[in-house]
Structures are given as C-alpha cells and as structure tokens.
C-alpha cells in the first residue's frame, strides 16, 4: 500500500520515512512511501496548510491525523513525535481495516453474481515477456571524474567550463566557492559541474594562504562535494572490488541528509543498511528500489567513509577480531594510487 504526507516539517517527514522503512519487517502488508498515488495520507493538523487539507479532504480521502493531541477526533491518529512501535500499531490497524473492507466487497459481489453454466477452462501457457535483470558490469572509477580530484591531497583551484572556480583545501577538509550552494536543492546546471569528467576539469596548484585571506568565499565541508560528485557521476556503475551479489554492506552512521542531496529512496536504504548487513542485490530486492539507485547510493556512502564491508561469512572470527575486513582500505588505496 502507498502512503504519503501532507504539511509535515522536513525533520518530521524524514523521521517518518525512516521509521516506515524500519517497520517493514513486522508488517504483513508492504507500505511504500509514494506521493503520486497514495492510499493513505499522514496530515500534520498543527500546520495551517495541514488544517486546510484535513477540513477539505477528511471525508473523501483516507487520512491519518498527526499532532501532539487528537483534537479532531480522527479515527486514525499518530502522536508526535513519531515512535516506531506506535507507527507499527497504527499501520497494523489500518491494514486490518483494509482487509476487512475487501472481504465485505467480495461477499457482496458473490451474492449478486448470476447463476450460469460453468464454461470449461482451456489451459494455456501465457506469453509473458521476461523482466530484464540489469547487470552492473561497468566499473565506476572515481579518478575519471571530479570525485578523483577531490580525493587528492593538494590545495587546488578547480575549474570546469564556465562555472565559478572551486577552491579545495585538503588539510581543512573543505572546499570554498564564491557561489552559495544548497546541496539539498541543486539545479540542472550545478549538477553538470558535479558530473564533470576529468577531461573537462582544469586544476591549478595554490598556496593555502591564497585562499584563507579571501573574504568573498563560502566554506563547505568536503563530504558534501564528495557525496554529490560520486552520486551523480556513478550512473549505476559499481566501484571496483565490490560484488553486487556477494559483498555484504553495513552503514556505520546515517548520511547527514539535512545538508546532502538525496531522494526518498536513499532514506529508505539508509534505514535498512544501518540495522543489518546485506548485499546490494538483497537491498534492491527487499526495497524494490532500482539496482542503479542502490549502487549510486552505496558508492557515495563508500567514498564518504560511511560504510563497512563484512568479512566472508565462512571466516572464523576471534573475540578481538573485527567483523569487517580491510578490503575497503585496499579499495581506497587502489583509487588513490590512480590519482598519483
């Protein structure tokens, strides 16, 4: 079933989507966050926009009131702030209601159905087109894109076409620009900059003092640039040394979605990856998110050092031994070697 939100503040919406993904294991019906065609809408009735929406649609649409108190006597209510167990209980209740409604409709249809002679059924093999499985055979090589430049250890002025120069100070783990960049809302022109191939990039070595003394520059953490350059230039291609079907991944910590460009799919992936180690194929199957999106998200998490790679399950680990291999360090080393 599809569920969406109306008038929720950004933090509340972010937490709700994450909780929805975390609740999936304990629910009989799969709930998918979908703004386009929702069966159910969570409405923040404490917001002016939400109040208007509730008054207009509470009779015609299936709505859940979201507030600190159920001031509208809504049959379906979720208390602020979102708590996982309360969300599970509510969705189970909603699921049971939908199931009982379906049974009633079936009974009514059976009562009205006229008595006719049975028509013999001729068995036939249906012609069904096979759903193509997208294989990620191509490898993503960061050294061929702007990402590779940002992994270097030199103070640089980076130029791409007619875009404003980007100044990179590795010792401060920062980038500087004359442009005020909102990573959560990048326009198409800005994305062209971040997707740049190395052949489009010009670099000039600078002294750190040349940048530090300027007062016309905005300062940004390097993670924001590494994230968006990797995410936008991966194009479904996986980093070398990682297997879609065999390598198990665990997310060490949530990406800071408050400042990073992201999709709803990324929040769903993070909510699962932070709880258990899975292969990328498992993640795609479990969430029904395209494998290309899963791969792009993983690459960005890997480059910003947010993931751990689990050791081979067949290995016997001692109490003092990490569950996670040094494989990711060797992958990073091979990337850096290509930059020298």
pLDDT-based confidence at residue 35 (cuts at 50, 70, 90): confident
CA distances from 166 to 171, 178, 209, 214 (A): 16, 8, 15, 13
Q: Is-above-0.85 flag for pTM?
A: no
CA distances from 210 to 40, 157, 162, 176, 228 (A): 56, 10, 22, 12, 26
If you write DSSP's letter for every residue of 105-169 in order, what string do you get?
A: HHHHHHHHPPP-PPPPP-------PPPPPPP--SEE-GGGBHHHHHTSSS-EEEEETTSPPEEEE
For the chain, what percent of residues have pLDDT higher than 70? 81
Which pLDDT belongs to residue 45? Answer: 95
* pLDDT digits 0-9 by tens, 79-91: 998 888 899 999 9
Structural domains of the chain ordered from first start? 2-109 (3.40.50.2300), 136-340 (no CATH)
Is it the case that residue 195 has pLDDT exceeding 80? yes
pLDDT, mean of residues 67-87: 92
173: left (phi over 0), alpha (psi -120 to 50) or beta: left
What is the Cα–Cα distance from 4 to 198, expressed in whole angstroms? 40
Which pLDDT belongs to residue 311? Answer: 61
Asked if the peptide bond before residue 80 counts as cis, ω within 30 degrees of 0, the response is no
Which pLDDT belongs to residue 238? Answer: 96
Which pLDDT belongs to residue 259? Answer: 86
* pLDDT digits 0-9 by tens, 112-128: 444 444 444 444 434 33
**For residues 80 and 27, which has the higher predicted lDDT (pLDDT)?**
80
Those residues whose C-beta lies under 8 Å from the C-beta of residue 185, and which sit 6 or more positions away, are 261
């Amino acid at each position: 079933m599809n569920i969406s939100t109306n008038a929720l503040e950004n933090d509340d919406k972010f937490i709700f989507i994450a909780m929805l993904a975390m609740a999936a294991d304990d629910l009989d019906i799969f709930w998918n966050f979908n703004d386009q065609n929702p069966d159910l809408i969570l409405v923040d009735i404490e917001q002016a926009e939400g109040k208007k929406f509730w008054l207009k649609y509470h009779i015609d649409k299936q709505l859940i009131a979201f507030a600190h108190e159920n001031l509208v006597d809504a049959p379906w209510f979720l208390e602020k702030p979102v708590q996982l167990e309360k969300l599970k209980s509510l969705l189970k209740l909603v699921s049971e209601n939908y199931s009982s409604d379906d049974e009633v409709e079936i009974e009514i249809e059976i009562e009205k159905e006229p008595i006719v002679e049975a028509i013999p059924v001729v068995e036939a093999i249906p012609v069904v087109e096979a759903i193509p499985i997208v294989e990620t055979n191509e490898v993503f090589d960061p050294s061929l894109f702007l990402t590779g430049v940002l992994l270097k250890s030199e103070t640089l002025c980076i130029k791409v076409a007619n875009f404003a120069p980007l100044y990179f100070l590795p010792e401060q783990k920062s980038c500087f620009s004359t442009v005020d960049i909102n990573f959560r809302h990048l326009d198409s022109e800005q994305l062209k900059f971040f997707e740049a191939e190395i052949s489009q990039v010009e670099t000039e070595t600078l002294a750190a003092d040349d940048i530090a003394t300027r007062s016309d520059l905005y300062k940004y953490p390097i993670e924001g640039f590494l994230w968006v350059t990797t995410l936008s230039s991966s194009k479904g291609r996986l980093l070398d040394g990682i297997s879609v079907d065999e390598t198990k991944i665990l997310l060490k910590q949530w990406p800071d979605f408050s400042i990073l460009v992201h999709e709803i799919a990324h929040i769903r992936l993070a909510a699962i990856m932070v709880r258990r180690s899975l292969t990328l194929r498992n993640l795609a199957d479990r969430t029904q998110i395209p494998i290309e999106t899963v791969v792009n998200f993983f690459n960005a998490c890997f480059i910003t050092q947010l993931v751990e790679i689990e050791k081979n399950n067949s290995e016997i680990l001692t109490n003092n031994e990490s569950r996670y291999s040094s494989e990711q360090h060797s992958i990073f080393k091979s990337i850096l070697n290509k930059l020298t």
